[in-house]
Amino acid sequence: MPARVVYTDEVVNTAIARIPVLRKAGAEIRHTVHSAVMKTGPVGRFVADLLHGTWLGHPLHPVLTDITIGAWFFGSVFDLLAAATGLRRHREAADRLMEIGAMSAVPTALAGLTDYSTIKQEAVEHGAAHALLNSLALTLYLGSIRARHTRNRTLGLILSGIGLQMMLISAWLGGELVYKHRIGVRHGQRSGKLDHWTSVIRADELLESQPVRVDVDEMPVMLVRRYDQIYAIGATCAHAGGPLEQGKLVDHCIQCPWHDSVYDLRTGGRVHGPTTYNQPHFRTQVVNGWVQIRAAEIND
Ligand code: FES
């Protein structure tokens, strides 16, 4: 009988599934953080937008992780160099990098927690495991920094060595969240391919403030008559694929029913996160009683 191949993700998934508290506690934390953001109004929204990276047009968390992972990884490289050369400047470089990594871990964790507050259900366990491992890694690095300061270098090296391994497993989990669960990547389609006027619905079927979803060339589009203007943007929320036509209209904006991203109907532009992407945006006109749309521009 041929030997069964065991894949890394199988091992990790089995291990994560054996900790049921991850799903329960993770879901509660997710809900609590997102509720807190929504309850604190404009200030909470502003801080969350900052941490999601809505202003950047790219999730902020992976940008910050590069600093933390880079600092801790190269800190270990300098630890090895110091062991090989015995030079004090290599030891000092290692110690500074450990400190930089720990300092950058705080905003990195805050950005990650904010993203986690709007993560989809099936990714909750992986997200919680990722956060738990990162927290353990940070604790170990803080212990390492303290040990280095108190001249217990051997203990410092052991703690940062274990911390590095935790961080690398956690980084792998972070990759799973992006590439497998599609957290942080753009959902939906772009508007660019609809480059000609296309009739999509009779104008009298479009009632004031009642969004409608239509499929045009396999592209879901949300149409809404608002303040007697007709607007059309992509119907699939770029954050995680929520149905925008089921969202809540607020002035000239629509709020996604899944995680409350807000888009401007007039431009498809993102107004509030968690999304970091704009929606496809279409121009509209009414010809012979039909609403016609075409791509306004390619929104990035
Ligand atoms: S799917 Fe998450 S905000 Fe729309």
Q: Tokens for 223, please give them.
A: 């149409």
> Is the distance from CB of 236 to CB of 297 less than 8 angstroms?
no
CA–CA distance, 133 with 78 (Å, rounded to integer): 23
For 6-32, b/e burial (b = at least 16 CB within 10 A) is eeeeeebeeebeeeeebeeebbebbee
Residue ranges in the chain modelled with pLDDT below 50: 298, 300
pLDDT digits (tens, 9 = 90+) for 134-162: 999 999 999 999 999 998 999 999 999 99
Distance 187 CA to ligand 1 centre (A): 9
Atom of ligand 1 nearest to the CA of 241: 1
CA–CA distance, 262 with 276 (Å, rounded to integer): 11
Distance 272 CA to ligand 1 centre (A): 11
Whether a cis peptide bond, with omega within 30° of 0, leads into 62 is no
pLDDT of residue 300: 47
Distance 40 CA to ligand 1 centre (A): 19
CA–CA distance, 228 with 266 (Å, rounded to integer): 13
Which value, to the nearest 10 degrees, does the dihedral of the CA atoms of residues 225, 228, 232, 233 take?
-90
Distance 258 CA to ligand 1 centre (A): 5
**Phi, psi (5° rounding) for residue 39?**
-75, -30
Q: CB burial class (10 A; 0-12, 13-18, 19+) of residue 222?
A: buried
Q: Tokens for 175, please give them.
A: 């990759």
Which residues are registered as beta bridge partners of 202? 290
Atom of ligand 1 nearest to the CA of 260: 3
Atom of ligand 1 nearest to the CA of 247: 4
pTM greater than 0.85:
yes
Distance 85 CA to ligand 1 centre (A): 52
**Phi, psi (5° rounding) for residue 96?**
-65, -40
CA distances 190 to 204, 223, 281, Å, are 27, 16, 8
Distance 221 CA to ligand 1 centre (A): 16
CA distances 27 to 22, 48, 117, 121, Å, are 8, 18, 9, 8
Domain 198-297 is found in CATH 2.40.30.110: no
pLDDT of residue 13: 77
pLDDT digits (tens, 9 = 90+) for 28-68: 999 999 999 999 999 999 999 999 999 999 999 999 999 99
Site to probe by mutation for ligand 1, drawn from 186, 237, 245 as the one with most ligand atoms within 8 Å of Cβ, is 237
pLDDT of residue 297: 67
Element containing residue 78 per DSSP (H, E) = helix 60-85
Site to probe by mutation for ligand 1, drawn from 30, 256, 279 as the one with most ligand atoms within 8 Å of Cβ, is 256
Distance 247 CA to ligand 1 centre (A): 10
Q: Which residue's alpha carbon is at the smallest distance from atom 2 of ligand 1? A: 259
Atom of ligand 1 nearest to the CA of 120: 2
Residues in the ligand 1 pocket, defined by CB under 6 Å = 118, 237, 239-242, 256, 258-261, 274-275
Atom of ligand 1 nearest to the CA of 237: 4
Atom of ligand 1 nearest to the CA of 118: 2
